Amino acid sequence: MQEKWQQATQVIHAGHIPNEHGALVTPLCQSATFVFDNAEQGGARFAGEEPGFIYTRLGNPTTAELERKIAALEGSDCAAATASGMAAVSAALLANLQNGDHLIASNAVYGCTFALMNSQLAKFGIEVSLVDFSRLDEIEAAIKPNTKVLFCETPVNPHLKVFDLDAIARIAKAYKLVSVVDNTFMTPLLQQPIKHGIDIVIHSATKYLNGHGDVIAGVVCSSREQMDVIKYEVLKDIGGVISPHDAWLILRGLKTLDVRLQRHCDSAERVAEFLEGHSKVSKVYYPGLKTHCGNGLVGHQMKRAGGVIAFELEADLQASIKFINQLELFSIAVSLGDAESLIQHPASMTHSPYSPEEREKAGITDNLLRISIGLEAVEDIIFALDKGLAAL
Residues involved in catalysis? 57, 110, 182, 207
Beta-bridge partner residues of 153: 182
In degrees and rounded to multiples of 5, residue 228 shows phi and psi of -60, -35
- As a whole number of angstroms, the distance between CA 329 and CA 312 comes to 20
User: What are residue 178's DSSP bridge partners?
Assistant: 149
* Residue 6 CB partners (closer than 8 Å, separation 6+): none
Nearest to 74 by CA among 183, 218, 216, 210: 183
**Do the Cβ atoms of 281 and 313 come closer than 8 Å?**
yes
Residues 270 and 341 sit within 8 Å (Cβ to Cβ): no
Nearest Cα residue to 327 out of 290, 275, 256: 275
d(CA 73, CA 50): 28
Answer yes or no: are the C-beta atoms of 225 and 76 closer than 8 Å.
Answer: no
Query: Which contacts qualify for 296-299: CB closer than 8 Å, 24 or more apart?
Result: 297/162, 297/164
Residues paired with 331 in a beta bridge? 342
Burial 303-319 (b: 16+ CB within 10 A, else e): bbbbbbbbbbbebeeee
